[in-house]
Amino acid sequence: MDATPDPRIAFFDKLAERWDQEGQPPAETVARVDRLAEQLALEPGQTVLEVGCGTGQLTAWLVEQVLPGRVVAIDFSPAMVAQARAKGIPAGFRVADVCREAVGAECIDVALCFHSFPHFRNRQSALKNLAQALKPGGRLLIMHLCGSAAINAFHADVGGAVAGDHLPDAAEWPRLLDAAGLRLVSLVDRDDLFLLEGTRN
């Protein structure tokens, strides 16, 4: 395993304090996700792993969907996690790098990567760790509130540590998921939504 710290940690640490004030207002983000609730199909009693939770903009909404279940929310940026924790959301927040460490063992019903997957420097390790965390039949959701072309162009434009961060081409997903013990169920990639659903074999 590469011992060099991922430069994205410092990148996101630096943004954490003003994350909620820049870009789309968090309430609007949550309202847009809420309109997708049926498609996401989260259920009361489930355990959800939110990967790359940032300041927890979506975490309280996830908690509401699965109560009396629970949400475990991880991010490798300590400053992002500190912002999220300060909100008092009843979720288990943890500093963890999904590319580097186990994030659970067959205990998760749904793993959600919301606006985070392109930043995972080692997709294969991330997918393997997520697959291990999922219960058999558990679901992986990778979601963005815009299409892949816009995301990839946005990161190129931002530059710095995230300049090359992009979503894989549609044709790559089946192989990537398969190598991690996951199966592609559906993939939507349109201007206002990227939503991939996979399931653990």
Ligand X SMILES: C[S@@+](CC[C@H](N)C(=O)[O-])C[C@H]1O[C@@H](n2cnc3c(N)ncnc32)[C@H](O)[C@@H]1O
Q: Of all helices (H) and strands (E), which one includes residue 51?
A: strand 47-51
Non-local CB neighbours of 106 within 8 Å, separated by 6+ positions? 132, 133, 134, 135, 136
Read off the amino acid at residue 48: V
x-or-dash string of contact with ligand X, 35-74, rule CB under 6 A: -----------------xxx--x----------------x
Picking from 179, 160, 181, 157, the residue whose alpha carbon sits closest to that of residue 168 is: 179
Check residue 133 for interaction with ligand X (CB under 6 A): no
Q: How far apart are CA 77 and CA 94, in angstroms?
A: 10
Shortest distance in whole angstroms from residue 95 CB to ligand X: 8
Check residue 109 for interaction with ligand X (CB under 6 A): no
Q: Which residues 77-96 are close enough to bind ligand X by CB under 6 A?
A: 77, 80
Nearest CB to ligand X, comparing residues 11 and 173: 11
Nearest CB to ligand X, comparing residues 45 and 102: 102
Non-local CB neighbours of 43 within 8 Å, separated by 6+ positions? 65, 66, 69, 109
Check residue 114 for interaction with ligand X (CB under 6 A): yes
Q: Is the peptide bond before 90 cis (omega within 30 degrees of 0)?
A: no
Shortest distance in whole angstroms from residue 136 CB to ligand X: 24
- The count of residues interacting with ligand X (CB under 6 A) is 19
CA distance readout (Å), 42 to 108, 174, 182: 12, 23, 19
Check residue 200 for interaction with ligand X (CB under 6 A): no
Check residue 98 for interaction with ligand X (CB under 6 A): yes
- Contact footprint for ligand X (CB under 6 A): 8, 12, 52-54, 57, 74-77, 80, 97-99, 114-116, 119-120
